Structure 1
């Protein structure tokens, strides 16, 4: 996740990660159960806008009910309740989206033998243990640009943990998840507003110049997954 393009640019901006998550949440329809929501199925265009792709396993949602289905999905993102019961609901996609939110914060893949300690291979158990103990710093991606508001990270961490609750009935709707993401973005916009005003003031006084020649044209349809895991520019 969060890297990609011909120059292997890594997304180290917390706000940009939030904006991608916002686009992805908007693309998760409550009337369609995707069944394979994962970071590599969130595609980014050259303008860094995201869309959910690969609806080949999708099923129409049945309002207030479930669909009996052979279990399909990807290890690490698969809803354990769906796996056990083979009863598919729209909350199965919510579990998968919660895993993506935990990836967004940590920069880690959902399954790893190296990142989560000796007795843990799953991002959900690892993140939950730190979040519930109040140690949010332990799961924040060290490569993120500094200056983000910890309150917005907490907001995403808390909704991510709500999404991966063991039972679907305990999980939020995608509309509720989207609102939390947008609230997190609003926190960051509010934090940045005084800095932007200060910068514009300095520019008007001629004390700051901004180089616009170093823009990077990202490859169209790089995946969210690629945009996190590749190395950044040196």
Structure 2
């Protein structure tokens, strides 16, 4: 079960990693980041769930995104950007590899969510004079306070956005 959760269905069957198993793992990691929870637990997810994927799907299917967001974020995020990330994470953990997006699609969606978040931050903080500084480049590795007044860049290694055969 842990192998299936962590790296997806194809690896479990073939014992070979693929781009789509990497996407599955990335989706699990996104769910971990959003929720602040570990991927597998016998107690964290309730009686009917043993892993983060099942747990997140149950919440999202009932429209309860707040139920999976780490409370340590204390509402310091834009709900629209969070929905984008959660929806893409759930697409990444589809049971079959052919149903999962490419890593390029996932990264694009994350970049879009970051732009939404940055615009919302500017609006929340009343920093409209800094709105013109928001560019199409962001950093996945910044905290809330690092965003204020900072010019951010995201560098995507070409080996990540242009997968090679394994």
| Shared fold, TM over 0.5 | yes
Please list every run of at least 4 consecutive aligned residues from structure 1 whose deviation after the TM superposition is greater than 6 angstroms.
none
Structure-1 separation of matches of 2:51 and 2:44: 9
Question: Which segments of 5 or more consecutive residues in structure 2 lack a partner in the other structure?
Answer: 131-166
Greater RCO between the two (CA within 8 Å, min separation 6)? 1
Asked whether 1:118 is paired with 2:47, we answer yes
Provide, for residues 148-196 of structure 1, a one-character-per-residue CA deviation record: whole Å limited to 9, x for no partner. Answer: 1111111111000000001111111111000111111001111112315
Asked whether 1:148 is paired with 2:77, we answer yes
Structure-2 separation of matches of 1:152 and 1:161: 14
Of residues 131, 134, 138, the one that matches 2:63 is: 134
Matched residue, 1:96: 25
Q: Quote how far apart the aligned CAs of 1:74 are.
A: 5.9
Q: Quote how far apart the aligned CAs of 1:116 are.
A: 0.4
Aligned-residue Cα RMSD (Å) equals: 2.2
Which has the larger share of helix? 2
Matched residue, 1:189: 118
Matched residue, 1:6: none
Structure-2 separation of matches of 1:167 and 1:134: 24
Change (3 A) 1:199 1:118: farther
Q: Which has the larger radius of gyration?
A: 1
1:14-163 matches, cutoff 5 A: 76-163=5-92
- SS of alignment partner, residue 71 of structure 2: coil
Normalising by structure 1, report the TM-score.
Answer: 0.51
The answer (yes or no) to whether the contact 1:101–1:160 under 8 Å persists in 2 is yes
Matched residue, 2:103: 174
Q: Quote how far apart the aligned CAs of 1:137 are.
A: 1.0
- SS of alignment partner, residue 88 of structure 1: coil
The answer (yes or no) to whether the contact 1:81–1:166 under 8 Å persists in 2 is no
Structure-2 separation of matches of 1:87 and 1:154: 32
